[in-house]
Amino acid sequence: MKVAARQAGILDPRPAGPTTLRFVSEPEAAALATIKDLSKRSSINAGDTIVVCDAGGGTVDLISYIFQSTDPFVVKECAKGDGDLYGGVFLDEAFIRFVKKKSPKGTWYPVTKTEERKFLNDEWEHAIFSVFSPIVDKIEVLVRRQVDAIHDKYQEKPKYIILVGGFGRSRFLFNHLQERFGRIVLQSSGNKPWTAICRGAVVQGLVRHNPFANLGVEVEARVARMSYGIKYTTLFIEGHHKEADKTWSHVYQHYRAKNQIAWFLREGEDISGKRSVLHSYVRLLEAPSFKGSEQIYCSASCAPPGRYGDSDDIHRFCTMKWDKIIDIDALPKWTNPIGAVYLRLDYVIKMDCEDGTVNFSVYCQGSKVGEEEVEVQFN
C-alpha cells in the first residue's frame, strides 16, 4: 500500500512539507464515523458496547467496541472482528444467474453488460426473495457471532448494532436484522452509511494531526486478528521438544530443536496505539561474509502453536532482508567445546505496532540493518 501511494504521487514533495502516510482499516474508519455520529446521543454511557456492520459492495466487515469514556469519547475493541465476501455485488451476480436460468436458452446471449446494469437498476427492487435471503442470512450469522462474543465477555448484549456501507443502506437487510435482534439495530439515513469509511478516515487523519482536536472519538486499543512471529532453533530438551525436530549442530556440539516459533503478536491480543516487542538472537558465522534475511510467519489460529508444523494454519507472510553490510571484523569470536572458532553475531528483531501497520526491523552493532513494513490484519 505504501508503494502504491508513492507511485500515485501522494508522497511527492510539496510546499507544505513532507507528507505523513498513515493507514486505517475500512471497518475501523467506518466505526470512527459512526461513533462520531453517536456522540450526539445522550443514551451512550461508559461501559456500553456496539457492533458496527460495514456491508459494502464486495465484503461485509464487523467490528465491536466498548466505550471507556464519553467525555471525550474513548473506545476500545472488545471482540475479534469478523468478515466475509457477502457484499452487494454478490446479490447482483446471484440475481443475474437466476434470471439467466429462467430465460429461454440463447435469449440472454445478446444482452450487453450495460443492459445488465440497467436491468439491475430497474428491476432489483422487485428481486426474488430466494436470491436476496441467502446473503442476508449469512450476514446475520456474522452479526450474531459478534453479539455472542460480547455477551460471553460482558454478560449483556450490545447496546446498538449499526449498519454502514453501501449495502448497509438496504431496508431489506435492516428489517431482517431488526427482526432477529430487535430495535438495537440502527441505520443512518441519506448518504451517511455510504460515506462512513471516507468520513472516518478523515476523522482519523485530523485527530493524528491535532490530538487535541475535539472530533468525537479516540481508539484506545485494537484487537489483532492474526499472530505474527519467526522460526528459530534452540537447545533440544528431551520430553519437551519433538524428536522430529531434533538435529545435531556441529557448531554448538549439541542437539538443537528446529521449527520453533516465537510469536511477537498473538491473535486476540489487545494492541494499544503504539507497542514494541523485542526478541534477541545469536548467529554463529563460519564464513567471513554474511547476507541475512528473516522469514515472518503468520497464523489465524486462536491459539497458535509454538512449533512450525503443528498446524496447517501457519503461513509464510513476508521476508525481511538485511540491507546493510555487517562489519565482520568487529564481531567477537566464540569457541565451541571442541575448539572451533566462530564469529558471534548478536542481533535484535523489533516489532512496532501503530495504526494498523506493523514494522519489523533488525538491529545489529547499534544500528538498524533491515526493515519490513507490513499491513497487519487488525480489527
Q: What is the pLDDT of residue 111?
A: 64
Domain identity same for 231 and 192: no
Contact criterion met (CB below 8 Å) for 270 and 77: yes
**Full domain range(s) for residue 65:** 2-222
Same domain, 210 and 234: no
Confidence check: pLDDT of 244 > 90? yes
pLDDT band at 93 (very low <50, low <70, confident <90, very high): low
Q: Are residues 82 and 197 in the same domain?
A: yes
Tell me the average pLDDT across 226-251. 94
What's the mean pLDDT in 89-109?
62
Q: How large is the C-alpha radius of gyration of the chain?
A: 26
pLDDT at position 49: 93
| Together in a domain, 205 and 300 | no
Question: pLDDT value at position 96?
Answer: 65
Looking at every residue in the chain, the average pLDDT score rounds to 81
Same domain, 194 and 133: yes
Tell me, yes or no, whether 289 and 326 share the same domain. yes
Higher pLDDT, 27 or 243: 243
Claim to verify: residue 296 and residue 342 sit in the same structural domain = yes
Q: Write the CA distances from 135 to 95, 100, 169, 227, integer angstroms.
A: 11, 19, 15, 30
Q: Which of 43-57, 72-86, 243-257, 259-273 has the lowest mean pLDDT?
A: 72-86
| Mean pLDDT on 39-44 | 74
DSSP, residue by residue, 94-114: HHHHHHHHHSPTTSSTT--HH
Q: Which of 277, 278, 312, 315 is nearest to 297 (CA)?
A: 315
Considering the domain architecture, whether residues 208 and 259 belong to the same structural domain is answered as no
Residue 326 sits at the vertex; the CA angle it makes with 325 and 330, to the nearest 5 degrees, is 145
Determine the pLDDT at residue 11.
Answer: 87
Last residue of a domain, one of 222, 246, 268: 222
Statement: residue 88 has pLDDT above 60: no
What is the structure's pLDDT at 260? 95
Q: What is the mean pLDDT of residues 54-62?
A: 82
Residue 59 shares a structural domain with residue 194 = yes
Highest mean pLDDT, choosing among 13-17, 117-121, 373-377: 13-17
* Contacts of residue 29, Cβ cutoff 8 Å, sequence gap at least 6: 196, 197, 198, 199, 200, 201, 203, 204
Query: What local confidence, expressed as pLDDT, does residue 190 receive?
Result: 79
The pLDDT of residue 20 is above 50: yes
What CATH code is carried by the domain that includes residue 177?
Answer: 3.30.420.40
Do 239 and 127 share a domain, yes or no? no
Q: How many domains does the chain have?
A: 2
285 in the same domain as 217: no
What one-character-per-residue DSSP string does 25-52 give?
A: -HHHHHHHHHHHHHTT-TT--TT-EEEE
- What's the rounded Cα separation, in Å, for the pair 149 and 291? 46
245-297: per-residue pLDDT in tens?
Answer: 999 999 999 999 999 999 988 888 877 655 788 999 999 988 776 777 888 89
- Boundary residue ending a domain (193, 222, 251): 222
C-alpha cell read off for 377: 490484519
φ, ψ for residue 16, nearest 5 deg: -75, -10
pLDDT tens digits, one per residue of 109-154: 666 777 666 665 655 555 555 667 788 888 999 999 999 999 999 9
Q: Give the pLDDT confidence score for residue 149 in this predicted structure.
A: 92
305-351 tens-digit pLDDT: 999 988 888 998 888 887 777 788 888 999 999 999 999 999 999 98
45, 79, 92, 239 from 366: Cα distances, Å: 48, 39, 57, 38
CB 83 within 8 A of CB 61: yes
Return the H-helix or E-strand segment holding 281.
strand 274-285
- Is the domain of 85 the same as that of 182? yes
Helix (H, G, I), strand (E, B) or coil at 363: strand
The residue among 326 and 55 whose pLDDT is bigger is 55
Choose the final residue of a domain: 191, 222, 253: 222
Average pLDDT of span 17-43: 79
Q: Is 74 left (phi over 0), alpha (psi -120 to 50) or beta?
A: beta
For residue 65, the cross-strand partners are 50, 77
Confidence of residue 378 (pLDDT cuts 50, 70, 90): very low
Q: Are 370 and 324 in contact (CB under 8 A)?
A: yes
